[in-house]
Amino acid sequence: MDKSKITFGLSYIETGSPLHRLSGFTKLVLFLWWITLILTTFDLRVLTGFFIVGIVLLSLAQIPFKVYRPFVFFMVYIVTLNTLFIYLFAPLQGPEFIGSHTELFIFTKRYVVTLETLVYLAVIAVKFLAIFPMALLFVFSTHPTEFAASLNKIKVPYPIAYAVSLTLRYLPEITKDFVNILHAQQARGVDISRNVSLRKRIRNIASILFPLILSSLEKADVITNAMTLRGFGKGHSRTWYNARPMAIGDWVVLAAMAVWTVPHFIIRASIDGLFWYPF
Amino acid sequence: MIADPIVEFSLFSFRYESRKEATLEDISLTIKSGEKILIAGPSGSGKTTIGNCLNGLIPHSFKGVGSGRLKVAGFEPASTDLHELSKSVGTVLQDTDGQFVGLSVGEDIAFALENDARPRDEMHTAVSRAASLVEMGEYLNRSPFALSGGQKQRVSLAGILIDDVDLLLFDEPLANLDPATGKLAIELIDQLHRETGKTIIIIEHRLEDVLHRPIDRIILIDRGKVIADESPDSMLTDGTLATHGIREPLYLSALRLAGGSLRVEDHPASLDSLDLDRHRDNLVSWFDSRPMVAERPHQPKLLTVKGISYSYDGELTTLDKVGFSIESGERISLLGENGAGKSTLAKIIMGLIKPDEGNLSWSGNVITGENISERSRKIGFVMQNPNHMISQHLIRDEVAFGPRLRGVCEADVTERVESTLRTCGLYPFRNWPISALSYGQKKRVTIAAILIMEPQLLIMDEPTAGQDYFHYTEFMEFITKLNRESGLTILLVTHDLHLALEYTERSLVLSHGYLIADDSVPKIFADSELLTRASLKPTSLYGLARKLNIEAVDEFIAHFISSEGAVRSG
């Protein structure tokens, strides 16, 4: 049928890299571990380390840069804005947390820049930036059903896990229906552009949503019947065709995580207060 | 050979919870293990309900009241667990998208095994075996978005074969396929039947297409009752099928038009088996007596399409320099397989998408720049699925929707709505909620909702989808009347060749984005090479003319169309 002009930029891309060959379970655990460790540390050295490792892993996944370039720009934009506003709202948060005050220069009486402020803001920014490559990596290298399978493996009930993969399966179909309905209504004179008043526009949008909801419910019925006829929801557990069995690589990655966890928390405990501050 | 019965209905009745009347009444029939059966009947006859009784969706998913006895593969569906029943009865549903739940071919085929919690390695072996049965072995990693309707259907079939079921149930397997793909589907089902010996039940109203391969028995259902249960040869000799809204094969219609009558010994079930000896002279003299047909006088050009090209992604060309024109009052069909670019072209004509190249003119004025709203004053577009068009609760409001949006005053709206509903035969239902209507009636409402805007050109996208012969004949006759009486120009976008043959005079044939033919219907239908190239298939009239050694196949087809049209419109 028609190739829709709408595509989803954030989805699985097969490149056959070593990271793609890891089991979804390993990647899910890695992702959760990654976030947990980053959120529990305020050590700029450790965070920078995570950031660099994240970038290296992402490049190992062989995803072409142009695929995620827009997300990089978006992320940089968000982080910059976030950091700027933290400073604008609470310019002295850094010195307060770290407990010392080393003035570098002064804009106004309120907006003073201290070394502590810079370290504090850098920690916040790098925290975000370090999570980012791993999130991209996870999304691009984990097939949605493998993701569902691994959710199930960490004890999420399988009907919920399967819903994730069903959503991805039928989202494009519903988009196609939406475009069809939109076209049908436009051809009868329904205008949802700025040419009409807001009130009318809302009413006109309703005339598109109504059939969309009805046709989606109809579709849901068909899908439910098709799934019931093939035994879905019968047993207490199910297996997954796309689940990758654990291989040596998986055990290596899991072991590496375990190995790093110990020094990570030792470093964390060895610092007085939250922040690592050498000056 | 005496085989055990696999399906036994005895005095079985069923009424859906939400209905007042029973959908099935006193059904008694037996199907033996290994038989290949066609269950035929018009929409709303109860044939799908029979299917749902066999696979257990009734009473497990659809609630209702039943009586009598039903046994399927040794089970009583009502008291059997649905899951257990699905190990013996496999169903291929009509909706090829809705039943494809996996994100890849392999995963979808494995679905039943996953739910059985079978180990992964076992699944992978079983999946590749089932996939190669339906010749999809090389597509295991493909996503459903990269498959055609026919391929999705094969995947569904593999997903059922993986369970080694005894009974295969196909619910309208031809509904979403173009003619060439449908033919392949019927051949595949037949091959499975011969190789595995499984019992096969096909629910379908496209009789001629199913009979492309032999069937043991046809069970005709109408109004919830078994009307006939006979071999195809005997079923086709009398006129029972036609009176119950089923289109008989075209070659038989021709035979009857020529004044012949059929006997079982003629083996009418397929054109190949048909013994023509008794009928040859009849048919030839019928053909020789054809009147001279005057050419249709030319009318002013209404729509001219020039050098239209379009690509959705800038790489794959969907339409390549397509050009043609439509005269006022013509009835035209736009033919082509699924994905040939038909819908895209219709959308460009409607102004829903802008062509990359080329232009459109209307009565000589260029309209390429006009927006949808301006175009919709001249051109009406009836979509394939009525549920995609209906946005109001009451029939009256749905029909009034267009004029109201245009700001027509309420008194005029009421008057126009009433007169449109009268012409469309919907006036008695004007205050009904649309949800109470059947699919066919909804279709009628959407046609009324477009006609009220008084378009000069009416485009209908796959008007026969989900409609049986009886119901589509009804509204197509009505559209034809409008064409005759008020000169409404009609463009049917379709892959249904019977429809094009019956209701249009000229055909445009699209294939892979190119317009490969633009000619009169008889000429196009007489060109088997052209039709094959467009993944359509020649009708049996072509085969019949060949069997009769008639050279002027196009004139044979033309004579058939005019004789049949005269009979149909009384």
Burial code (b: 16+ CB inside 10 Å, e: under 16) for B257-281 equals: bbebebeeebebbbbeebebeebee
Residue-wise pLDDT tens digits, B532-552 = 999 888 899 999 999 999 999
Contact B391/A229, CB-based, under 8 Å? no
CA B290/CA B428 separation, integer angstroms: 43
Inter-chain residue contact B401 with A5, CB threshold 8 Å? no
Contact B113 A211 (CB under 8 A): no
- CA B30 centroid distance within chain: 28
Q: Which residues from B are below 8 Å from A143, CB to CB?
A: 103
Under DSSP, is residue B377 helix (H, G, I), strand (E, B) or coil? Answer: coil
Helix, strand, coil percentages (3-state) for chain A, rounded to 5, are 70, 5, 30
- Chain B, 345 to 364: residues with Cβ < 8 Å from chain A are 347, 350, 352
pLDDT tens across B275-329, in order? 998 899 999 999 999 888 777 788 899 999 999 999 987 778 889 999 999 999 9
**pLDDT value of residue B467:** 80
Whole-prediction pTM:
0.86
Q: How confident is the model at residue B345 (pLDDT cuts 50, 70, 90)?
A: very high
Mean pLDDT of A255-269: 92
Question: For B154-165, b where at least 16 C-beta lie within 10 A, e where not — what string?
Answer: bbbbbbbbbbeb
Q: In sequence order, which residues have a C-beta less than 8 Å from that of residue A197 and are 6 or more positions away?
A: none
Q: Which amino acid is at A17?
A: S
Q: Residue type at A138?
A: F
> How many Å apart are CA B2 and CA B275, to the nearest integer?
30
Look over chain B and give the mean of its residue pLDDT values, rounded to a whole number: 91
Q: Which residues of chain B make contact with A145, given a CB cutoff of 8 A?
A: 102-104, 107
Burial environment of residue B129 by CB neighbours within 10 A (0 to 12, 13 to 18, 19 or more): middle
Cα(B526)–Cα(B529) distance, rounded to whole angstroms?
9
CB < 8 Å to B434, chain A: none
Q: Identify the pLDDT of residue A9.
A: 61
User: Which chain A residue has the Cα nearest residue B143?
Assistant: A169
Place of tokens 């008194």: B411
Q: Does B390 touch chain A (CB under 8 A)?
A: yes
% of residues, chain B, pLDDT over 70? 99
By Cβ distance, the residue of A143, A186, A229 closest to B372 is: A186
Residue B144 in contact with partner chain A when CB distance is under 8 A: yes
Round to whole Å and give the CA distance between B70 and A56. 65
Q: Which residues of chain B lie closer than 8 angstroms to A215, CB-CB?
A: 385, 387-388
Cβ–Cβ < 8 Å for B293, B299: no
3-class SS string, B530-550:
HHHHCCCCCCHHHHHHHHCCC
Determine the average pLDDT of the residues in A127-135: 94
Residue with tokens 């992978």: B124
Element housing B323 (H / E): strand B319-327
Determine the residue of chain A that is closest to B177 in CA distance.
A1
Residues with Cβ < 8 Å from B567, sequence gap 6 or more? B257
Task: Please name every residue paired with B491 in a beta bridge, in sequence order, or none if there are none.
Answer: B332, B459
B406 touches chain A (CB under 8 A): yes
Residue A228, SS3?
Answer: helix
pLDDT band at A204 (very low <50, low <70, confident <90, very high): confident
Tally the residues of chain A: 279
pLDDT the model gives residue B254:
94
HSE, side-chain direction, 13 A CA sphere, residue B311: 8
Q: Which residues lie below 8 Å from residue A95, measured CB to CB, with a gap of 6+?
A: A101, A102, A114, A116, A117
> Is A235 close to B117, i.e. CB distance below 8 A?
yes
Instruction: Tell whether B344 is within 8 A of chain A (Cβ).
Output: yes
Does B335 score more than 70 pLDDT? yes
Give φ, ψ of A265 to 5 degrees.
-80, -25
The strand pairing partners of B229, in sequence order, are B219
> For residues B193 and B35, what is the distance between their CA atoms, to the nearest angstrom?
9
Instruction: Return the minimum-mean-pLDDT range out of A191-195, B75-79, B352-356.
Output: A191-195
Mutate to test the interface with B, among A142, A241, A244 (most CBs of B within 10 A): A241
Long-range CB pairs of A81-89 (<8 Å, 24+ gap) are A82/A124, A82/A125, A82/A128, A83/A121, A83/A124, A83/A125, A86/A121, A86/A124, A87/A111, A87/A117, A87/A121
A29 neighbors A257 (Cβ within 8 angstroms):
yes
Residues of B in contact with A207 (CB under 8 A): 391-392, 401
Instruction: Return phi, psi of residue B385, to 5°.
Output: -100, 110
Q: Give chain B positions within 8 Å (CB) of A179.
A: none
**Structural tokens at position A210:** 């109504």
pLDDT value at residue B513: 92
CB atoms within 10 A of CB B338: 18
Class of residue B549 by CB neighbours under 10 A (exposed 0-12, middle 13-18, buried 19+):
exposed
Non-local (6+) Cβ contacts of B215 within 8 A are B36, B37, B38, B202, B232, B269
Question: Using an 8 Å Cβ cutoff, are A131 and A38 in contact?
Answer: yes
State whether A189 and B338 contact (CB < 8 Å).
no
Q: CA B313 to CA B54: how far, in whole Å?
A: 45
- pLDDT on residue B570: 64
CB neighbours (10 Å) of residue B473?
Answer: 18
Residue-wise pLDDT for B547-570, tens only, equals 999 999 999 999 999 998 888 776
- Under the banding of pLDDT at 50, 70 and 90, the label for residue A2 is very low
Indicate yes or no: CB of A225 within 8 angstroms of CB of B57: yes
Residue A227: what are its φ and ψ, rounded to 5°? -70, -40
What pLDDT, on the 0 to 100 scale, is given for residue B369? 87
Could you write out the DSSP letters of every residue in B154-209?
A: HHHHHHHHTTT-SEEEEESTTTTS-HHHHHHHHHHHHHHHHHH--EEEEE-S-HHH
The single-letter code of the amino acid at B427 is: Y
The residue of chain B with its CA nearest to that of A189 is: B373
Distance CA B99, CA B82 (A): 17
pLDDT band at B2 (very low <50, low <70, confident <90, very high): low
Considering only CA atoms, give the Rg of chain B.
25
Shortest Cα distance, chain B CAs vs residue A252, angstroms: 23
| Inter-residue contact B487 to B329 (CB < 8 Å) | yes
Distance of CA A272 to the CA centre of its chain: 32
Of the candidates B39, B46, B95, which has an alpha carbon nearest to the alpha carbon of residue B207? B39
Instruction: Report the chain A residue with the minimal C-alpha distance to residue B169.
Output: A229
A chain contacts of residue B86, beta-carbon cutoff 8 Å: 229-231
Among B115, B159, B312, beta carbon nearest to A3: B312
Contact (Cβ atoms closer than 8 angstroms) between residue B92 and residue B171 = yes
- Average pLDDT rounded to a whole number, residues B144-152: 88
A177 Cβ under 8 Å from any chain B Cβ? yes
B1 pLDDT above the threshold of 60: no
Distance CA A78, CA A212 (A): 34
Residue where the block lists tokens 């009805």: A214
**More confident: A93 or A256:** A256
Instruction: Tell if the CB–CB gap between B312 and A144 is shorter than 8 Å.
Output: no
Question: Exposed, middle or buried by CB within 10 Å (0-12, 13-18, 19+), for A109?
Answer: exposed
- Is the peptide bond prior to B59 cis by the omega test (within 30 degrees of 0)? yes
